[in-house]
Amino acid sequence: MKLSMKLNKFLITTALSLLPLSEALAEEAVLNAGDTSWVIVSTALVMMMTPAGLALFYGGMSRYKNLLNTFAMTIIAYCLASVIWVIWGYTLSFGPDQAGIIGGLNHLFMTGIGVNDLSGTIPTYVFALFQMTFAAITVALVLGSVVDRMKFSAWIVFTILWVTAVYGPMAHWVWGGGWMGEMGALDFAGGNVVHINAGVAGLVLCLMLGKRIGYGKEAMFPSSISLTALGAALLWFGWFGFNAGSQLAADGVAGSAFLVTNTSAATGALTWMFVEWKVNKKPTILGIASGVVAGLVSITPAAGFVNLSGALIIGIGAGMIGFYGVAVLKKKLGYDDSLDAFGVHGLCGIWGALATGLLADPAITEGARGLFYGNPKQLWIQLVSIVATALFTAIGTLCVLVVTKYLTRGIRVGADEEIEGLDSAIHGERAFEIS
């Protein structure tokens, strides 16, 4: 009897002593095959957005003599970002936090990361590659402000410097443990990091480069609206990976992000179409495609935080603000934003970030609560994050341009090259055979 009691006591004591270990094991990150599969697919979708979707969207809007140059600069931006990211971009964005400003250099060349290392429930390599596609499309979006007139060599140097000095810190601020994320700013998939960042950079770049020869005096027709429409469709398709993939899990929030992304895109297209129809008396395909992108941009920071009604409001606002930025504001201020990177991405990114502060619903993501759900502080936080992003990007881009100009002896092509067209002058090719 005594032996039995002692044995029971020993077993109970042993079991209790193992509880902390079992709890620790339970808290350990465990690979989830479903989450991993979804993020791999999302990575592929976002990758397609740059050398396919954006290249076609921008290429179709550029003049026929610069279409191939637009393709080349878009594809090269993706290639450069891919290499920069695995050497030093990832560690600057997601390395150990340094005073809330930048990541440490612990992961140069992806050092210290093995095939079995996890970020949450997915391999760190998968997470890193997913984030790389964001860096690539962000710098490629900047191109929309400067097609037709920027030197190819200057674009290469600018891309390297900008991804390093502007995108890296911004990604760290919001997603890598930096001050903006710690402050409570909500940016689910890149309102600040991608769209405001790219839009403001594009505005600075086009102001520094100056207007295209003949801008405002001669017609500058798009080379192919058909290519632009196809590009918009591919961007729409890829954006499901962009937004729903940013949950980094195959769960209900990802499903909600998928739903609101499509809703905002469709609503943005319809709104832009009806506004343009009312103002200009014609509903253009270019306007519809631009409305799709405006809706996608605006829902990006809010995708994991807002419900269906929020998506409808955001989409309506996107169509109206995007049209105003392209058709009214640009003409009033007189800047030559060639393909409206600031008008669509900058302005609609700002609207999306503010709307997140208004419409974030804690029923979608716990802890994310906007003004309309009882948390007015969130709107103030969003406003601070927008102003900080715009100021940092503007100053950072200006500094990058100064260095680029010095290294490449100018950032703008010569007048003869611009008139001839960059396809022929730089690449020795033509997109179309015109008799």
Q: What pLDDT sits at residue 432? A: 79
Q: What percent of the chain has pLDDT over 90?
A: 92
Q: What pLDDT sits at residue 12? A: 47
Over residues 80-97, mean pLDDT: 98
Q: Would residue 11 count as lying in a domain?
A: no
Q: What pLDDT sits at residue 402? A: 98
pLDDT tens, position by position, 232-275: 999 999 999 999 999 999 999 999 999 999 999 999 999 999 99
Q: Would residue 24 count as lying in a domain?
A: no
> Domains in the chain: how many in total?
1
pLDDT tens, position by position, 173-204: 999 999 999 999 999 999 999 999 999 999 99
pTM summary value: 0.93
3-class state of residue 223 by DSSP: coil
The answer to whether the CB of 334 falls within 8 A of the CB of 207 is no
Over residues 299-310, mean pLDDT: 98
- Residue range of the domain that includes 47: 33-427
Q: Would residue 25 count as lying in a domain?
A: no
* pLDDT reading at 3 higher than 70: no
CATH of the domain at 85: 1.10.3430.10
Q: Would residue 392 count as lying in a domain?
A: yes
Q: What pLDDT sits at residue 362? A: 98
Q: What is the H or E stretch that residue 123 is in?
A: strand 122-123
Question: What confidence tier does 15 reach under pLDDT thresholds 50, 70, 90?
Answer: very low
Q: What is the H or E stretch that residue 98 is in?
A: strand 97-98
Q: Would residue 223 count as lying in a domain?
A: yes
Q: Would residue 402 count as lying in a domain?
A: yes
Q: Which residue has 């964005």 as its token pair?
A: 93
Q: Would residue 6 count as lying in a domain?
A: no
* pLDDT reading at 127 higher than 90: yes
Nearest to 433, CA basis, from 155, 64, 104: 64
Q: Would residue 19 count as lying in a domain?
A: no
Torsion of CA 319, 323, 326, 331, to 10 degrees: -160
CA separation for the pair 412, 425 (Å, rounded): 13
